[in-house]
Structure 1
Amino acid sequence: MILNPSTWLSSFSFPSLLLGTATPSEYSPIVLTGVLLSLIVVYIASKLGGEISRKINLPPVLGELVAGVIVGASVLHLLVFPEGGADAGDSVLMTVLQFIGNLTPDAVTSIFEAQSEVVSVLAEIGVIILLFEIGLESDLKELTKVGYQATIVACVGVAVPFGAGTIGLIYLFNFPAIPAIFAGAALTATSIGITSKVLSEIGQLKSREGQIIVGAAVIDDILGIIVLAVVASLAKTGEVDIANVIYLIVSATSFLIGSILLGKFFNKSFVAAADRLQTRGNIIIPALVFAFFMAFIGNAIHLEAILGAFAAGLVLDETDKRKELDEQVKPIADILVPIFFITVGAKVDLSVLNPSTPANREGLIIATFLIIVAIIGKVVTGWAVFGQPGINRVAIGVGMIPRGEVGLVFAGIGAASGVLDKPLQAAIIVMVILTTFIAPPLLRLAFKESSDPQKELNQLDITR
């Protein structure tokens, strides 16, 4: 059985995924061997990429993405997938398994499909855990501190790149509506993790600009998840239905807000349950049950499982067990989330951006267009702030640029849904990489170029 990409996360059938309905049971040990070899490649690549990226003062997630590209279809062919057009003969790991087991070509094909399905499902579970973790890190109390200014910045930061990207792809590059909308949605993301880390390093996290940036990034995450739920659901239907769009927006918003409001009642039950349980996992197991249940509900009402996981994270962020839960989620995320990032990179074939091939030149032009829209669409958000004399508008705009892990979520889900062709998928990945690379040095420069009075004002805000 090959998992239909358009129904990512819509159902799990682990026995059939582990063996594949077309895979004879005698091949199951070989399938397991292939999965284990794949995970070895994933973890070595993720750690090497992350460590190298950290040493050069860049986000580790970028190193994981680049490492995925290297071990995947673009370079080493250690980790390739059928949905990317690859077959068993393209996989180095399958060549190793064929040599070890003396397998027939038909057996290798069945094993390749089953092994790829298992890795893909693990990656999909990884993205659920990632969004749950992002929800835990999105402190709703920050929204009240920055107020309407952050809300305006976030709304402009979502609307401008989404509109410009979607319209540009449709009218300048003649893309169908669904792929154009998905690519436009990928432009809306902002990585709160990357931005807040840089702000902390340069001592601007508690400045007026820093508070607005972080608050806007939190709201941007919420808006981005709603947008993602909408466009991913549109990808399933294959058409743009205005009534369906309105339904999805209303249901996504109601689901998220309702989850947060009901969370006040759930938090007491969660704490009580955690205190009553005496065995290991008394906190993390109830939390994961809640996260997976919310993901199931999100999927059941025709939204996305990740929206439910994100809502679960927001709810549990308010509980008294939040700090303990945050620490216990990290090891699980460390195990599963790298599979997602490495898989996203591995599925990207950057050869489509090779300018020496005439057919690829359109992909490069698309990537250039997306990068320009991605940067300008966020920089303009600084000028959405009003009533704040002396505010560093450039710093606010630059702080919203990096897409980071949130942008990768969009790219990965778009690829899994089958709506993005190779040039557009690779162009989105390149946009994510570049915006995440350039944002940290530009943010430092933007604050460095501030006038002395502004610096003094920022320092005054910090002391307060």
Structure 2
Amino acid sequence: MHGALDALLVGLVGLATLLATLWRGLAPRLGIPPLVGYILIGLGFGLADEALALFSEPARFAFELLGALGLVALLFRVGLGSHPQRLLEKLPRASLIWLISVAVSGLAGWAAARMMGLGEIASLVAGVALTATSIGVALPPWQEAGQLDTEAGTLALDVAELDDLSGVLLMALLLAAIPTLQAAHGIAWADLATTLSTLLLGLAAFTAGCWAFAHWLEPPLTRALERWETPPARLLVVVALGALIAAGAGLLGFSLAIGALFAGLIFSGAPEGVREDRSYLVLHDFLVPFFFIGIGLKLEPAALQSALAVGAVLLLAAVAGKLVGTWLPALLAAPAGTALPLAVSMVPRAEIAMVVVDQARRLGPSVVPDTLYGAMTLVTLGTCALTPPVLGRLLARGGPGGRLRG
């Protein structure tokens, strides 16, 4: 019997990997981001499980573990692709758009959730989730239009990176505050201030440790790896260190997501031969789909009907929040005629938004009920499917390097 369970588990992992790989090859031809298909694969597994009882407890645990590794791989790459020094240099120009965009989209998400009858904490989760954008969804249309290296393209990239970083940090603050908010009858401001100040001090210490590692240990380490190790081996050392940093952050109460992001930032200054190693991309492409498959697998089919109405309202809030919150400041801070494409680029919600919801859900159904989980998944599917074609048309209208209307 044990052998049959092992065989079933290996078969499920193999089937998930095969479907994800086939979809990843097909998605660009359809103009749909791969993560949309990954979530639908997970939903299909969930429906099959209801009919055939495929997922035993060990199988669900295995998919949870693969999903956690996928989360680490996802956030590690987000950090790896960020350039802290470049972001600091661009901050004076990008900060106006970033701050207003985050504030407006967060308030829009919170208000929409409250309007649909969700609780205060669930509404805060929705608001924080909707502050972040998806750089991976917005980037391809800029690349295809040959405008990623223009002033407007680099500004879109900078604002999206800041959105992602602030989304993860806001998630850390929210997750730390939720137990205090749950325990209080009303908001116990003193307890909340103590909790958040403790977290911020801990994050400051963790950040200082990561900076010291990046400043003094990372350069000689990567030089040694380039000199003595073959590409797969040196990449595995970097990934192993990243996993240890992520695990350390999780044990300290900051979550795996924070640790993985910081680990990626540590190695973001490494030589390109280390950062762009194909071995890591293979590992990334294997693990990351399991995070999104896990999201689809956790969806309760019975809750999808009730999630439709909430999802529709949150989708409107997600689109309006980023369009208004980005377009208005972009009129002042962006190159002339590029405000609208910049605003549309911030609309998709994917990786960070679902990381926020998924991590908050671990605190219980009172924090993220099935309705909100399903609604936010619909927001992800909707914004990621609709944004690329709209943005592509806007950029094509301006022509390569041409003036865009905004």
Structures share a fold, TM > 0.5? yes
Matched, 1:376 2:325: no
**How far did residue 389 of structure 1 move?**
6.1
Relative to structure 1, the CA distance from residue 313 to residue 388 in structure 2 (aligned partners, 3 Å threshold; closer, same or farther) is closer
Query: What is aligned with 2:258?
Result: 307
Q: Which runs of 5+ in 1 are unaligned?
A: 1-26, 81-89, 95-111, 355-359, 459-464
Query: What is aligned with 1:423?
Result: 371
Matched, 1:269 2:226: no
Query: What is aligned with 1:122?
Result: 66
**How far did residue 222 of structure 1 move?**
0.9
Instruction: Return the alpha-carbon distance in structure 2 between the equivalents of residues 152 and 176 of structure 1.
Output: 31
Instruction: Return the alpha-carbon distance in structure 2 between the equivalents of residues 195 and 127 of structure 1.
Output: 20
Relative to structure 1, the CA distance from residue 45 to residue 410 in structure 2 (aligned partners, 3 Å threshold; closer, same or farther) is farther
RMSD: 2.7
**How far did residue 261 of structure 1 move?**
5.4
Letter in 1 for 2:214: G
**How far did residue 91 of structure 1 move?**
4.2
Matched, 1:408 2:351: no
Query: What is aligned with 1:220?
Result: 163
**Partner SS state of residue 66, structure 1:** helix
Give aligned-pair identity as a percent.
23
Instruction: Return the alpha-carbon distance in structure 1 between the equivalents of residues 7 and 361 of structure 2.
Output: 26
2:360, 2:368 within 8 Å by CA — same for their partners in 1?
A: yes
Query: What is aligned with 2:44?
Result: 70
Q: Computing the radius of gyration over CA atoms, which structure comes out larger, 1 or 2?
A: 1
Moved more, 276-285 or 154-163: 276-285
Alignment match of 1:444 (pick from 392, 399, 402): 392
Relative to structure 1, the CA distance from residue 368 to residue 246 in structure 2 (aligned partners, 3 Å threshold; closer, same or farther) is farther
Query: What is aligned with 2:309?
Result: 365
Matched, 1:207 2:160: no
Moved more, 115-124 or 245-254: 245-254
Cα deviation, 1:59-88, whole Å, max 9, x if unaligned, reads: 122221222222223xx33xx7xxxxxxxx
Write the mapping of 1:90-129 to structure 2, written as runs, cut at 5 A: 91-93=52-54, 112-129=56-73
**How far did residue 293 of structure 1 move?**
2.3
Query: What is aligned with 1:47?
Result: 21
**Partner SS state of residue 233, structure 2:** coil
Please give the TM-score of this superposition, normalised by the length of structure 2.
0.86
2:349, 2:384 within 8 Å by CA — same for their partners in 1?
A: yes
Write the mapping of 1:224-243 to structure 2, written as runs, cut at 5 A: 224-235=167-178, 238-239=182-183, 241-243=192-194
Query: What is aligned with 2:99?
Result: 155
Instruction: Return the alpha-carbon distance in structure 1 between the equivalents of residues 207 and 111 of structure 2.
Output: 28
Query: What is aligned with 1:189?
Result: 132
Relative to structure 1, the CA distance from residue 53 to residue 161 in structure 2 (aligned partners, 3 Å threshold; closer, same or farther) is same
Query: What is aligned with 1:284?
Result: 235
Instruction: Return the alpha-carbon distance in structure 2 between the equivalents of residues 43 and 389 of structure 1.
Output: 43
Relative to structure 1, the CA distance from residue 415 to residue 129 in structure 2 (aligned partners, 3 Å threshold; closer, same or farther) is same
Number of aligned positions between the proteins: 392
More helix by share: 2
Matched, 1:318 2:269: yes
1:50, 1:62 within 8 Å by CA — same for their partners in 2?
A: no
**How far did residue 425 of structure 1 move?**
0.5
1:260, 1:314 within 8 Å by CA — same for their partners in 2?
A: no
Letter in 2 for 1:227: L
